[in-house]
Amino acid sequence: QVKLLESGGGSVQAGGSLRLSCTVSGYTYSSYCMGWFRQAPGKEREGVAAIDSEGTTSYADSVKGRFTISQDNAKNTRYLQMNSLKPEDTAVYYCAQDPADACGYPSAPDPAEFGYWGQGTQVTVSS
């Protein structure tokens, strides 16, 4: 059974930083795409960043230069470092994983392409 567990959300003032973590268990394939997504109240879920098993990454235009996706394969953990946070970054953040072709490079990941999801973690940025 594939499980994804996010952590690291919280509240921060504009300009601050947070690092989200997503630990994956039960995924037995060596090839994967892992994405970070977010959903603000009243809005559709949107792709934020993705990384695949080769280390290729992609980002939504709205977070380029501010967010960095990375991974520690020894820990089966992916990270989203979020710097220079803005109030519009406020949302529930989710991680998701699926086979590598789900990444859809060079575009930001599409949530419709992912089947395994974490429970989400709240990020709140105040002005």
Could you tell me which of 87, 39, 86, 35 has the C-alpha nearest to residue 65? 86
Q: What angle do CA 123, 93, 45 make, to 5 degrees?
A: 125
Tokens of 115: 């089947």
Instruction: Specify the pLDDT at position 30.
Output: 85
Q: What angle do CA 115, 19, 63 make, to 5 degrees?
A: 75
Confidence of residue 101 (pLDDT cuts 50, 70, 90): confident
**Tens digit of each residue's pLDDT (9 = 90 or more) over 27-82:** 888 899 999 999 999 999 999 999 999 999 999 999 999 999 999 999 999 999 99
Tokens of 93: 């953040």
Q: Which residue has the tokens 């519009």?
A: 88
